[in-house]
Amino acid sequence: MKELRDITAKHPWNIMTTSADEGQFLNMLLKLINAKNTMEIGVYTGYSLLATALALPEDGKILAMDINKENYELGLPVIQKAGVAHKIDFREGPALPVLDQMIEDGKYHGTFDFIFVDADKDNYINYHKRLIDLVKVGGVIGYDNTLWNGSVVAPPDAPMRKYVRYYRDFVLELNKALAADPRIEICQLPVGDGITLCRRIS
Ligand SMILES: C[S@@+](CC[C@H](N)C(=O)[O-])C[C@H]1O[C@@H](n2cnc3c(N)ncnc32)[C@H](O)[C@@H]1O
């Protein structure tokens, strides 16, 4: 995992990557819940993907989606060297149409043990509407960046970078929707930029 971090650190968009403590956290969580069938939305160079792949059993699976394959290919040699590439089914393109297809298909309902969402924050609500059908009862969805640089607790007129301000309302909307959703129980952790774990209960 350190080798992939070092490669990512040199990439011009390196602030997008999941933090090292989040990687360790994901790896531990997946082992604790005995996850086997998983999904990741938002791969970038594959740091959280590697953390996940290392935690799964030999026949474990990750459906991994990202609109950019080049960044995934930057980290892929490290994933191959770790001997876990066979667990990954990478799909290039926007995730929503893939999710819609899976829901229409019917056979994927309630099949995922764990789903990690770390992509376009303005679509998290749209992901949740679909993922709640795809995760199994007792399974977990993890939404990354739910503290959004701490902006979710800052007063609206506090100084913020433009992109932080832009996505802040979407993250606030998501946090409210998750807290009010009776189909899940949630736990928001101050790991990295905040992860909200949602365990499907019905
Ligand atoms: C924060 S980065 C992911 C970081 C990654 N989880 C890691 O551990 O390094 C967000 C990623 O989401 C991808 N993304 C943005 N919009 C997307 C979409 N509609 N569908 C799938 N991936 C998307 C971006 O290309 C980017 O690689």
Mean pLDDT, the chain, whole residue set = 96
34 CA to centre of ligand 1 in angstroms: 25
**9 versus 43: which is more confidently predicted?**
43
Summarised one tens digit per residue, pLDDT across range 97-134 is: 999 999 999 999 999 999 999 999 999 999 999 999 99
- Does the pLDDT of residue 90 top 80, yes or no? yes
Residue 132: C-alpha distances to residues 72, 81, 126, 180, 200 (Å): 26, 34, 10, 14, 7
pLDDT of res. 17: 80
- Does the pLDDT of residue 201 top 90, yes or no? yes
Q: Which whole number is the average pLDDT over 66-86?
A: 97
Summarised one tens digit per residue, pLDDT across range 132-173 is: 999 999 999 999 999 999 999 999 899 999 999 999 999 999
Residue 156: HSE in the Cβ half-sphere, 13 Å Cα cutoff: 2
- The confidence band for 11, taking pLDDT boundaries of 50, 70 and 90, is confident
- The confidence band for 10, taking pLDDT boundaries of 50, 70 and 90, is confident
pLDDT of res. 171: 98
- Does the pLDDT of residue 92 top 80, yes or no? yes
Residue 47 to residue 51: CA distance in whole angstroms: 6
pLDDT of res. 154: 94
pLDDT of res. 15: 79
Return the best residue to mutate from 67, 69, 121, 124 for the ligand 1 pocket (most ligand atoms within 8 A of CB). 67
pLDDT of res. 111: 98
Q: Which CATH class is domain 2-200?
A: alpha beta
Domains of the chain by residue range? 2-200
The CB of 122 under 6 Å from ligand 1? The reply is no
Residue 193 to residue 34: CA distance in whole angstroms: 25
116 CA to centre of ligand 1 in angstroms: 11
Q: Which atom of ligand 1 is nearest to the CA of 49?
A: 8
Secondary structure E strands in 4-78:
37-41, 61-66
Residue 200 token pair: 């499907």
pLDDT of res. 202: 97
